[in-house]
Amino acid sequence: MFKKFSTKKKDRENDLELDEVEFLDLDEMEDLEVIDLDIVDLDKEKTEEKEYSLKREIISTVLYLLAVVALTFLFVQFVGQRTHVNGDSMNVTLEDGDNLIVDKLSYRFTDPERFDIIVFPYKYQEKTYYIKRIIGMPGETVQIIDGMVYIDGEMLDETYGKEVMQYSGVASDPITLGEDEYFVLGDNRNNSSDSRDPSVGNIQKDQIIGKAFIRIWPLNKFGILKHQ
């Protein structure tokens, strides 16, 4: 669409004023306005894309954190758990302040073995756990004579005890272990509450939380724990 308008222009040679006719393309102006609108629309689309990208990133982060929490829960519940050693009953193998990862999975598929270091709850106090070494196995008869451990009448060949026991406790008499029962001792034999103490007694397999697996602290002692 064109709109007509005129301007005066003087012819120098004839001293005449002439009308000069010009046409303005109004459609072109409308096109310019449309272009401006298109730019606005593009900016709006970019803003929406940024908002969508931000929302997607937030959702992705939330899902990732949920997955980490879920995997951590499953790991702690069924696979491994960090344990802090409090006390000296397992000296010199473990010391006060050591941090361990307890393997909670292995005993779901295999039975505990002699000399395994295990963690189990103390039945007379909530949220209290003991860490000891398995000495007597199911079906065996355990007795402590003159500070030495005897299994089925034969002295046990072991090097984990820190010193000769001065206290035999209930094991001064023969103790025959039932099915799935274990007799446990601390390596620091004269500073340990263990199966010699009636409050601890024999440990049932279903009481065992897991086997001490890795020492993670202190760093200079980091590594897999020796059991056998």
Catalytic residue set: 89, 132
Nearest to 142 by CA among 173, 119, 117: 173
- Residue 46 half-sphere exposure toward CB, CA atoms < 13 A: 6
DSSP one-letter code for 108? G
Burial category of 114 from C-beta neighbours within 10 Å (exposed 0-12, middle 13-18, buried 19 and up)? middle
DSSP one-letter code for 226? P
Which residues pair with residue 117 across a beta bridge? 133
8 A C-beta contact, residue 96 and residue 88: yes
Report the distance separating Cα 181 and Cα 206, nearest Å.
9
Nearest to 87 by CA among 216, 187, 161: 187
Report the distance separating Cα 220 and Cα 28, nearest Å.
80
